[in-house]
Structure 1
Amino acid sequence: MSTTGYIVQGVVFVLVFGTALYLFGKAIWDRYRFLRLGAKEESRTQDPGRRFAGFLEFVLAQRKVLAEPSGIAHFFIFWGFLVLVFGDLDFIVFHLTRWHLPWATSPVYLFIQEMFSAFVLVAVVLGLIRRYAMRPMRVEASFEAGLILGLIGTIVLTYYVATAADLVLDGVSPGWWSPVVNAIAGGLAGSSPGALLAIAEVCFWIHILCISTFLYFIPRSKHLHMIGAMFNWYFRKLDPPGKLRKLDLEDESVEEFGVGRIEQFTWKQLLDGYACTECGRCHVSCPATLSGKPLSPKYLIIKMKESLVAQGPGMLAQMAAGAENVQSESLFVNTFSEEEIWACTTCRACEEACPVANEHVQAIVDMRRYLVLTEGKASPEVNKVFANLERQSNEWGINRRERAAWAKDLPVKTMAEVDGQAEYLYFVGTAASFDQRNQKIAQAFAKILLAAGVDFAILGAEEESDGDSARRLGNEFLYQEFVQRNIEIFQTYGVKKIITTDPHAYNTFKNEYPDFGFEAEVYHATEFAAKLLEEGKIKPVKRIDKTITYHDSCYLGRYNGIYDAPRYILQSIPGVQLVEMERNRNKAMCCGAGGGGMFKEETGTRINVMRAKQALDTGADIVGTACPYCMTMLIDGTKANGAEDRLQTFDVLELLAESLAV
């Protein structure tokens, strides 16, 4: 090609690629400005070392992506692209100048470039087969997905063919380190110089057009996650995963509480939308989605992003015009339905599955807060729960004086009777205090503590609700009332150590009460009982010759990482044979009770019926629980499956107490 030809080619390249870069940069800048419309966020920059380590682990090493087999293809596409960036730089420079960059002629580098290009091509083919032939529930056969995969595949193929044609044209052997290019060059051998030049140039320009198109689409499609996910992992939540953000109810300048408009989400919550890969892992993990509810955590995040991108320009225009209060339309007009927000069980299965650290539950609770505190909207059954909590400090509205009725035949003292001189407070919780079936859990645990000689007491009628149901149902005002009452009681008796059989109370005491100035050693009863077993303070002796499957409580497992203690207890009981459900530990399915779900009407298939069926499929005689709410839901689910005679439900503490013969 003549000097003039190279000049013309260079000018055309600058125009085409420069335009693509401009459109890419403009879209990225606009989306950054949209993020700044969001509410201020608590610090997301503390502990930079831990944040950077997480970036290495989850972005570069792709650990969360590789948690699923399909993530292998993404891993190779991700790393293939990183390697191809350097190769493409040389590819472009060579075609415009006929000069190679220093590293680009190294056999080692060329081999790595070839292999990663091949990996990307194989991954693209597998992606197309999976998306358009196999079509699993969580992925969609969309035009955009096909276009992106097609662009990626074409970029790799045109690199191979153009490189091979150039080498044959220059009379250079590709060498063993370029096996794919070598094979293509062999097929092109014998072609005329004009044909080789035409092949190289056509492939080069197709290559450039594909890259330019891809650049245009990245910020305007789900592939914005290529940028968003990196920042999302760095700015991820470092607090306990189940901890909700405290709402400042004393700020008199605040007219609306919670999130009812897109700009009321924090910038980090809005960043979740940019980070979303639309992979659907959350979609197929969500019990609400799987049981036919109107909620999908995947579409929740997608709709949040779409609302921001659609309304962002208008809000920026309001700011440019000098508007003091920039407002968008209500999220409950065209974005979300109230039904989908109430369908969530707050189980965190979505967050556990998410490969880009999205935080769905906080966003949902924030919208519930808006509905309850700002709009005064909740279903009749939810309002009844609030009324019962206000009157009797329990969701059922049972007279609070009955809180200690479960212990009437046991030598259990109250804190008032021992003048606060007990090492441990056993916080019984609402379900185990008032529900007749769950009272047996409290009785069993008290017997275990008595057998081990533990110095403990209860609050009895002084015990308040822990407030978890109120908070997860959006009534932060009521929750904070309970927090202050409980802290006052704890401080009155000098409580420093708390044990509870309720995972919901455990989570809020341990992870959320510190925001209100109260900290204590908090144990779940299974943790504590396992500790007693390890120390030899109790010893199971009576055989229980049963096959048992254990159901992981969401608030014990995914919220607080307690998976082993309940299983250790079961395995310590003579005769017990433990079998696992297909969905267990961090992938366990919710029973449907969380987030106030136990007290709401449920559309579609009942979640507890699905979970009970999973327990039945193991062939076990007993399903073990470690949560009073799970106990109730699984008993009802077993009955709905017509199998109450075939599968019994017991708390692991009941089984332990029986084996202790106490």
Structure 2
Amino acid sequence: MWYIIQGIVFVLVFGTALYLFGTAVRQRYLYLKLAAPDPTRFDKPGQRLKSFVVNVLGQRKVLAEPSGLGHFFIFWGFLFLVFGDLDFIVYHILRFHLPWATSPVYLFIEEMFSWFVLVAIIVAAIRRYVLRPMRVEQTFEGGFILFLIGTIVVTYFIATGADMALAGSYGGWYSPGVSLIARWLAPLSKSGLLAISEICFWLHILAISTFLYFIPRSKHMHMIGALFNWYFKKYEPAGKLRKLDLEDESIEEFGVGQIQQFTWKQLLDGYACTECGRCHINCPATLSGKPLSPKHLILKMKEAIVAEGPQLLQQKAAGAETLSTHPVFEGVFTDEEVWACTTCRACEEACPVANEHVQDIIDLRRYLVLTEGKTSPEVTKVFSNLERQSNEWGISKRERAAWVGDLPVKTMEEVEGKAEYLFFVGTAASYDQRNQKIAQAFARILLAAGVDFAILGTEEESDGDSARRLGNEFLYQEFVQRNIEIFQTYGVKKIITTDPHAFNTFKNEYPDFGFEAEVYHSTQFAAKLIQEGKLKPTHRIEKRITYHDSCYLGRYNDIYDAPRFILEAIPGLELVEMERSRNKSMCCGAGGGGMFKEEGGASRINVMRAKQALDTGAEVVGTACPYCMTMLIDGTKANGAEERLETFDVIELLAQSIA
């Protein structure tokens, strides 16, 4: 009779927990259906399945940091505990074991992973409440979840040990921990052992039931969200932003001004977020004291859709043609945090659940710029300069080719479009006096290697990157159409540029507008010329150099080796790496229009990055981006070290070595 009552109580308790779990998950799924569509997430099923296996089951991205090892054991420990719990529950309700649960091999694996989970929980608690690293917040919820997981494991061990002691049959090599507990409990009476077994069983069930209730209502929604987030991750180029349809006259608002205007995938990111803080401690805006945290941005999206979801569902049920809710810039996001982003993608690179922060920021900027018409004075000036003179500084277009000087460089007009390569110089290398030296050095390299190239000269327009990253999609698409028209006029099929921003938009974004070409960054092209024997660095440069990875070259386009190959090919140069290099490199602060905005916060990003270069003891910091060049020179001066640390583009050093 007792077992019948026990079974009924179990069904009521566990059934209620499952119902509450399922109701909450379904509700959050319905919230996603309210969001904007994103049809790009359903292609490449094989690649998506592989990503799921590698990153969810294999936990590859989680293990990118040492702290991820604990999560790995918790994840796999829980998978084994699920099977173990099935037998645990069946045995305590029906008094028989499931077939697999008596296998010594299974029992050993289950116990080992259970111990791993317990140790990982203890380490996590010490880390969260004793060591307190910057990225981890000491919340009640976090501690309570650790307590529940610990309770689930400990009650399982004690109840199983009591059952073993009752049976008088102690496990062998395959169950060392539980056997030890059983022997420790063995002197107790039978009634005492039964009481311990039953109390721990019900504490175990209550802990699991409470955990089920909390999963969809806490950060542990990531246990579900991350599964889908990895499958539906972006498989377009990392450096590509979503194109806006500006020809649809029915669209009255551009960008995101209300929470449901995000796509379902953007909102899914909120469900997937583990609140681990990896993005937080890698964001240059956060580190320099600005009012932006990628983690909090994503969490605020989740909180907003959960808060506004019921009202939106009511509107939909009532047959509303257009859903409406509170503006996101009234209580969710602030203008300051949206403008603080440098679009460097350090957050996305660090994220273990494939969240995509940059598109969120750009969509919010698009709303401010295109719908609200709100920009800061310096951003407004940039747009005005671009509109008038096709460059951010507002310098006359007639000066765009002044950098050429006495170099025998031809324009596409002069060669009637018959050059094999277009050298797209870009705005910074055309107008900024320091960066003009990069354009001159690269032109000399191309001439020395016998490359058939030409420039556009005064016909060259802005590539549009700054306008797009600052939220002005209208202006960006104007430049796209102008450039494509020019490229088609001269039959351009191959483009080389020293500017990673131009490189990225030509290579990854212009195809959305019907233009495709072979696009090379100067370091890629120069490395290729060295490999082919068309360039041979011979003059020694006796310097110790550290290399700064441009975000738009590295994290955006995975180009890390070409610049280093060139530096290592130059005799005399000694390359030393900064602590933050390659995909973990820190932004210089210029990206996302940061070059042209006033920078607030406790510190300047470029000053912080220059200090990291100085810490290597190098005499030279190498760059491969004209914007990085400007920012690092300014950062070095701010550190009072302009005489100790010179700044050169990799191309300039190569030109010196072949001269």
- Is this a same-fold pair by TM over 0.5? yes
1:611 to partner: Cα distance: 0.3
1:170 to partner: Cα distance: 2.0
1:555 to partner: Cα distance: 0.1
Aligned position for 1:474 = 471
Aligned position for 2:54 = 57
Aligned position for 1:125 = 122
Could you tell me which of 107, 113, 117 is aligned with 1:116? Answer: 113
Aligned position for 2:385 = 388
Could you tell me which of 638, 646, 649 is aligned with 1:648? Answer: 646
Separation in 2, partners of 1:324, 1:488: 40
Aligned position for 2:210 = 213
**Counterpart secondary structure, 1:523:** strand
Separation in 2, partners of 1:40, 1:322: 19
Report the AA paired with residue 569 of structure 1.
I
Aligned position for 2:413 = 416
Q: Does 1:29 align with 2:29?
A: no
Separation in 2, partners of 1:166, 1:439: 80
Write the deviation string for residues 213-241 of structure 1: whole angstroms up to 9, x where unpaired. Answer: 00000000000000000100000000011
Aligned position for 2:187 = 190
Bigger Cα displacement from structure 2, 171-180 vs 516-525:
171-180
Report the AA paired with residue 637 of structure 1.
G
Write the deviation string for residues 290-339 of structure 1: whole angstroms up to 9, x where unpaired. Answer: 00000000000000000000010111111122222211110000100000
Aligned position for 1:339 = 336
Could you tell me which of 587, 610, 623 is aligned with 1:612? Answer: 610
Report the AA paired with residue 88 of structure 1.
D
Separation in 1, partners of 2:397, 2:315: 53
Q: Does 1:443 align with 2:444?
A: no
Aligned position for 1:625 = 623
Task: Map residues 88-103 of structure 1 onto 2, 5 A cutoff.
Answer: 88-103=85-100
Task: Map residues 382-531 of structure 1 onto 2, 5 A cutoff.
Answer: 382-531=379-528
Could you tell me which of 84, 89, 92 is aligned with 1:87? Answer: 84
TM-score scaled by length of structure 2: 0.99
1:124 to partner: Cα distance: 0.4
CA contact (8 A) 2:403 2:436 kept: yes
Separation in 1, partners of 2:569, 2:325: 58
CA contact (8 A) 2:164 2:179 kept: no
**Counterpart secondary structure, 1:205:** helix
**Counterpart secondary structure, 2:121:** helix
Separation in 2, partners of 1:378, 1:92: 61
Separation in 2, partners of 1:393, 1:138: 42
Report the AA paired with residue 522 of structure 2.
A
Report the AA paired with residue 624 of structure 1.
G
Separation in 2, partners of 1:197, 1:175: 22
1:137 to partner: Cα distance: 0.3
Report the AA paired with residue 208 of structure 1.
I
1:408 to partner: Cα distance: 2.1
Report the AA paired with residue 659 of structure 1.
S
Could you tell me which of 327, 330, 341 is aligned with 2:327? Answer: 330
Separation in 1, partners of 2:233, 2:291: 28
Aligned position for 2:45 = 48
Q: Does 1:77 align with 2:108?
A: no
Q: Which runs of 5+ in 1 are unaligned?
A: none
Write the deviation string for residues 407-437 of structure 1: whole angstroms up to 9, x where unpaired. Answer: 0210000000000000000000000000000
Report the AA paired with residue 177 of structure 1.
Y
Could you tell me which of 357, 360, 363 is aligned with 1:360? Answer: 357
1:597 to partner: Cα distance: 0.1
CA contact (8 A) 1:398 1:434 kept: yes
1:659 to partner: Cα distance: 0.6
Report the AA paired with residue 473 of structure 1.
L
Report the AA paired with residue 611 of structure 1.
R
Write the deviation string for residues 6-30 of structure 1: whole angstroms up to 9, x where unpaired. Answer: 0000010011000000000000000
Report the AA paired with residue 457 of structure 1.
A
1:252 to partner: Cα distance: 1.2
Aligned position for 1:635 = 633
Aligned position for 1:145 = 142
Aligned position for 1:301 = 298
Separation in 1, partners of 2:438, 2:405: 14
Report the AA paired with residue 417 of structure 2.
G
Q: Does 1:266 align with 2:263?
A: yes
Report the AA paired with residue 336 of structure 1.
F
Report the AA paired with residue 655 of structure 1.
L
**Counterpart secondary structure, 2:157:** helix
Could you tell me which of 278, 283, 292 is aligned with 1:281? Answer: 278
Separation in 1, partners of 2:173, 2:24: 43
Write the deviation string for residues 148-201 of structure 1: whole angstroms up to 9, x where unpaired. Answer: 111111101100110111111122222221001000001011210100000000
Report the AA paired with residue 263 of structure 1.
Q
Could you tell me which of 545, 565, 568 is aligned with 1:548? Answer: 545
Separation in 1, partners of 2:9, 2:171: 29
**Counterpart secondary structure, 1:43:** helix
Could you tell me which of 649, 657, 660 is aligned with 2:658? Answer: 660
Separation in 2, partners of 1:408, 1:175: 85
**Counterpart secondary structure, 1:499:** strand
Separation in 2, partners of 1:548, 1:454: 28
Separation in 2, partners of 1:394, 1:318: 46
Separation in 1, partners of 2:90, 2:252: 58
Aligned position for 2:587 = 590
1:115 to partner: Cα distance: 0.4
Report the AA paired with residue 425 of structure 2.
V
CA contact (8 A) 1:176 1:182 kept: no
Write the deviation string for residues 242-267 of structure 1: whole angstroms up to 9, x where unpaired. Answer: 10000000111111000111000000
**Counterpart secondary structure, 1:99:** coil
Aligned residues: 658
Separation in 2, partners of 1:407, 1:87: 74
Task: Map residues 3-22 of structure 1 onto 2, 5 A cutoff.
Answer: 4-22=1-19
CA contact (8 A) 2:465 2:501 kept: yes
CA contact (8 A) 2:162 2:196 kept: yes
**Counterpart secondary structure, 1:624:** strand
Separation in 1, partners of 2:31, 2:96: 42
Report the AA paired with residue 395 of structure 2.
I
Report the AA paired with residue 135 of structure 2.
R
Separation in 1, partners of 2:103, 2:656: 71
Could you tell me which of 599, 604, 628 is aligned with 1:602? Answer: 599
1:141 to partner: Cα distance: 1.3
1:275 to partner: Cα distance: 0.3
Runs of 4+ in 1 over 3 A off after TM superposition: none
Separation in 1, partners of 2:420, 2:277: 48
**Counterpart secondary structure, 1:558:** coil
| Percentage of identical aligned residues | 77
Q: Which runs of 5+ in 2 are unaligned?
A: none
Report the AA paired with residue 447 of structure 2.
L
